[in-house]
Amino acid sequence: MSFDLNNVDTSDTGVDKELKDFLMMEQKKAQFQSQINRLNDICWDKCVTDKPSTKLDSRTENCLRNCVDRFLDTSIAVAQRFATLISKQ
C-alpha cells in the first residue's frame, strides 16, 4: 500500500497537518517492516540450507547473527552517507 503525501491538502486546518503527519508515520512504519521482511528473506535463504528443525545448530545461528549484523552495518553506513550528502547541500 502506498500513501501519496503530495496530494494531501494542508491548506489551513490542524486536522490536515495531523493527517499528513499520521500518514507519514505510517509510511515510515511500512518501510521499516518491509526492510525487516527483506532482511528475513535474505538471511534465511543464505543461512538455512538444511531442513529446519526445532533448534538452530550453531553454524546456522552464527550465520544468521552475522547476516543481520552486516545488514545493520550496511544500513547505518548508507544512512550516514545520505546524512553527510544532505548536510553538504
Q: How far is CA 66 from CA 15, 24, 26, 41, 54, in A?
A: 45, 32, 30, 14, 21
Q: What integer pLDDT is reported at residue 54 of this predicted model? A: 85
Give the residue carrying C-alpha cell 515510515.
28
Q: What integer pLDDT is reported at residue 36 of this predicted model? A: 86
- Helices 14-47, 58-88: axis angle to 10 degrees equals 140
**CATH topology (fold) of 5-88:** Helix Hairpins (1.10.287)
Secondary structure (3-state) at 39:
helix
Rounded distance, CA 69 to CA 42, Å?
A: 13
Question: In one letter, which amino acid is 6?
Answer: N
The pLDDT tens digits for 15-64 are 788 889 899 999 988 988 898 898 889 999 999 888 878 888 899 999 99
pLDDT band at 5 (very low <50, low <70, confident <90, very high): low
Question: Taking 80 as the threshold, does the pLDDT of residue 75 lie above it?
Answer: yes
Q: Is the pTM of this model over 0.85?
A: no
